[in-house]
Structure 1
């Protein structure tokens, strides 16, 4: 540990420097909530409500079914769902069955899904009816043996459940009918079944995995972050401690952050179960629908990303809605603009602070204090309890003094076990228990940390991590593309947006629109470039390496010139 954790001197008295962590499995949180608050509402979903007792019973039925089809300790099971009750039930059911959860983005194309299923070796997947064709096409190329299918309507109240298929057909143009037979299973049939007595496996919370969370870098393909039960228990305990004014059994959390994103999974789903909060689930972010939901459901906690808060603040009907129930919001996934923080606090009367984390840390490592402590503008805050952090020189690896920029490295009980089947990548990222984040920043005299840039070229757009090389590889497959480099450029709404710089083959007449159509065939919509620029050549080093950073600097200079003209 660092010789002196100066940030502990600014901790409020309510937050201890060190915590005690229960040596239990993540699913125990649901057992405890069911015992203590059986009739309390656990999940609210578009008018449908489920108690903790019911949630536990359905997770138990699901776990028994999984064991019945051959799922055993350590098997990977994928969840490819938006935020729905089925996602929560599946998550805890998989853990109860002894499995490992593989969170999968429902926006994935077949190419992306196939890669993740192959890499994880998942044996089964839970998905929506409208995604069934996509999963079926991928299945023969993977180790998938079972597809469990659910539908949004399965957890809608009457009469919404009857109307939804018509809305779905209008919206997506398809209605998929699936039979409960062979290796295709209907979720709605599974949870009706009487729970079977589970085989109890000996699972070590410190060593055995609860989750494979896929992330990536600028080199190579996405990697599976191995998170143990202890990692998730530790981070959830830290988050609850940070929110010391919030009372178990009395709060409600707005669940807009997707659960396939590690921040949503920990700070909404697991924290809600641990604190016996009501989870108000929303399958996607829509500003008007969110304003209506806040006014009607009165959530007290609202973890989010800057794009969500910006979307609400810029809605023309904002003043018509009462958002005063909100006590606390911790913003993650991207930098939180100060003006957004201030305006959101004015509108709600609650507190909005910026935090920091990464998939490899379950994910939160730093946050600003929510209450009673002065605000530090532009800072990601201070390390969580039991979390050590320092700035090291990217040249020498030595610790840097306050104010000096270097790489942020972190140590703590929430840090991953490593990358799935990637010992070399693990050794490069984890050194002597320290996680090398790849983010450049500095620490001030009091122990507040600041992120200034990324060592790697990962793009964070709208809270999503996007990896340029993956997009470049797709665009290189277009027969008319000679050279391509992808970079994140500043964007007022998304923080960054994806821009592709293209050198076409001689004589080519391909258009931006054609390239965009091609990219969207192979990439999820949020990864596809929003901007295209054709160039005769790209900036390169003497050995031919494309200088991505030069292009980003050009964009920054253009932006600065535009601001000066407007001023």
Structure 2
């Protein structure tokens, strides 16, 4: 029997031709440097579009160019610094995918802060627990969630709330329509803020043309990603700028090949408040200088289809349920919506049923590659090749520079023979620093071997076939995903 070992990294032999087995050395710069670079290279490229950009006269241009996104996030960053934000302070983002999320994300990083993005649909109690745990001093929120935040603020460390209306970046006609027809009825209207709170737009105009002089290093913490454990206690996985830069470049190598492709249009339907959307859509798209079509609520399948029809996305990261709803939608079945522009999809967060994959690929002519990722290694660690063989039931091949081993469930050390199940462990440039304020949990999952290498023990039971494709067999313990 061929004695393949995990250390041989047999998976690299099955990479697509354009994917290198290593991308090292990785650039040592903060994550927002990608936005600065794209703003220099492609200043007038559109960065975001929303479904409200109706093609009244041809294709309405974006609400925002790369140059504008860079300048606006500079201004907001300066505003945060003037509000007293210190290096390493956490800032909560409480909003769905929208232009303001993109500006806020980069502003917090530029100010030397740490992004703690939260699912805006959380009930108040859970929201309060997460804000309290993160120690966030500032929250950036839509008007829609402002009353709820005021109600729980006393149970958190939040001193200032920066508030924006979802309509701010809608084009004129859509903005007017929203104000007349929807704003009050749907709870988006807030007339007045309480003391210590600020309008997003006011901070932008007060600080227009300014940028903070904070030095942010690649080794600084960039995000807290909350992940539900077995106990239901939320843990914040802390990741550095370096980790996110590395994973952005890994995604790029897998999907695009050599260097940025500013022609790419990414359908941003999965939430950016979770690392899958944050890294594989937002950061990856910004690195390329591509365009993101923002969908605030992916459950509104009509809106998703509208965006596909109108903006012809080339990339579409998603989850099996989303691809499935599209496959079975009456408009798709009737041929009223063409998916033909879609070239590359990565499906994550749950196993991808073969029938879902097959049907979507027939409809689009593109590929859905099943992948795997974790908040503790934000975000992608394994993906099936785009051109090479996709093995059914497999999460695919480890990305460049990832190392893997499958170890015994008895002792956590002995490597299992290839093909046999054990705990999946991984090492690589995007592994988290640890969990915030949870030293015991951190020591349980991050273990340093005798060569000084940090391994993440995933709690997933997996096996590797001799070609280096990985299969998740089970969870050691039941975990909530988001």
Name the SS of the counterpart of 1:111 in structure 2. helix
Residue of structure 2 aligned with 1:8, choices 6, 9, 12: 12
Aligned partners of 2:66 and 2:304: how far apart in 1?
A: 24
- Report the equivalent of 2:236: 224
Shift of 1:166: 4.3
Aligned partners of 1:134 and 1:446: how far apart in 2?
A: 51
Asked if 1:257 is matched to 2:267, the reply is no
Aligned partners of 1:202 and 1:68: how far apart in 2?
A: 15
- Report the equivalent of 1:153: 167
Shift of 1:341: 0.6
- Report the equivalent of 2:248: 236
Name the SS of the counterpart of 1:355 in structure 2. strand
- Report the equivalent of 1:26: 31
Aligned partners of 2:188 and 2:455: how far apart in 1?
A: 49
Aligned partners of 2:359 and 2:189: how far apart in 1?
A: 44
Q: 1:179, 1:185 within 8 Å by CA — same for their partners in 2?
A: no
- Report the equivalent of 1:210: 222
Name the SS of the counterpart of 1:391 in structure 2. strand
Q: Write out per-residue CA displacement over residues 246-280 of structure 1, whole angstroms, 9 at most, x where no aligned residue.
A: 85211110000101111000011000100100011
Q: Write out per-residue CA displacement over residues 195-250 of structure 1, whole angstroms, 9 at most, x where no aligned residue.
A: 364443333312x1000111121025101110000010010010000013585211
Residue of structure 2 aligned with 1:188, choices 197, 201, 222: 201
Name the SS of the counterpart of 2:277 in structure 1. helix
Against the structure 1 CA distance between its residues 376 and 129, is the aligned structure 2 distance closer, same or farther, given a 3 Å change threshold?
same
Shift of 1:152: 1.1
Shift of 1:3: 2.8
Aligned partners of 2:162 and 2:192: how far apart in 1?
A: 11
- Report the equivalent of 1:375: 390
Residue of structure 1 aligned with 2:379, choices 363, 369, 391: 363
- Report the equivalent of 1:341: 357
Shift of 1:170: 7.0
Q: 1:64, 1:196 within 8 Å by CA — same for their partners in 2?
A: no
Q: Which has the higher contact order (CA 8 A, sep 6+)?
A: 2
Q: Write out per-residue CA displacement over residues 115-165 of structure 1, whole angstroms, 9 at most, x where no aligned residue.
A: 111111101001111111110011112111101111111111111112213
Q: 2:165, 2:188 within 8 Å by CA — same for their partners in 1?
A: no
Q: Write out per-residue CA displacement over residues 295-334 of structure 1, whole angstroms, 9 at most, x where no aligned residue.
A: 1101101011111101101111102111111110011111
Name the SS of the counterpart of 1:71 in structure 2. coil
Shift of 1:441: 1.3
Q: 1:294, 1:323 within 8 Å by CA — same for their partners in 2?
A: yes
**TM-score normalised according to structure 2 size:** 0.92
- Report the equivalent of 1:513: none
**Structure 1 regions of 5+ residues with no counterpart?**
466-567
Name the SS of the counterpart of 2:7 in structure 1. coil
Asked if 1:350 is matched to 2:350, the reply is no
Name the SS of the counterpart of 1:213 in structure 2. strand
Asked if 1:176 is matched to 2:189, the reply is yes
Residue of structure 1 aligned with 2:428, choices 412, 417, 428: 412
Shift of 1:9: 1.8
Aligned partners of 1:402 and 1:204: how far apart in 2?
A: 39
Residue of structure 1 aligned with 2:410, choices 395, 417, 425: 395
- Report the equivalent of 2:58: none
- Report the equivalent of 1:531: none
Aligned partners of 1:167 and 1:98: how far apart in 2?
A: 40
Shift of 1:176: 3.4
Q: Which structure 2 residues correspond to residues 64-213 of structure 1 after superposition, within 5 A?
A: 64-169=78-183, 172=186, 174-179=187-192, 182-195=195-208, 197-206=210-219, 208-213=220-225
- Report the equivalent of 2:342: 326
Name the SS of the counterpart of 1:44 in structure 2. strand
Aligned partners of 1:175 and 1:7: how far apart in 2?
A: 50
Shift of 1:192: 2.2
Aligned partners of 1:175 and 1:161: how far apart in 2?
A: 12
**Structure 2 regions of 5+ residues with no counterpart?**
54-61, 449-453
Shift of 1:16: 1.2
Against the structure 1 CA distance between its residues 140 and 38, is the aligned structure 2 distance closer, same or farther, given a 3 Å change threshold?
same
- Report the equivalent of 2:451: none
Q: 1:44, 1:278 within 8 Å by CA — same for their partners in 2?
A: yes
Name the SS of the counterpart of 2:177 in structure 1. helix
- Report the equivalent of 1:279: 292
Aligned partners of 1:148 and 1:252: how far apart in 2?
A: 30
Aligned partners of 1:109 and 1:94: how far apart in 2?
A: 25
Aligned partners of 1:405 and 1:306: how far apart in 2?
A: 25
- Report the equivalent of 1:446: 467
**TM-score normalised according to structure 1 size:** 0.78
Against the structure 1 CA distance between its residues 170 and 344, is the aligned structure 2 distance closer, same or farther, given a 3 Å change threshold?
farther
Shift of 1:97: 0.9
Residue of structure 2 aligned with 1:302, choices 304, 313, 316: 316
The structure having more radius of gyration, on CA atoms, is 1
Shift of 1:291: 1.3
Q: 2:75, 2:211 within 8 Å by CA — same for their partners in 1?
A: no
Q: Write out per-residue CA displacement over residues 440-469 of structure 1, whole angstroms, 9 at most, x where no aligned residue.
A: 111111110001111111245xxxx3xxxx
Residue of structure 2 aligned with 1:17, choices 3, 16, 21: 21
- Report the equivalent of 1:496: none
Q: 1:129, 1:178 within 8 Å by CA — same for their partners in 2?
A: no
Aligned partners of 1:171 and 1:26: how far apart in 2?
A: 39
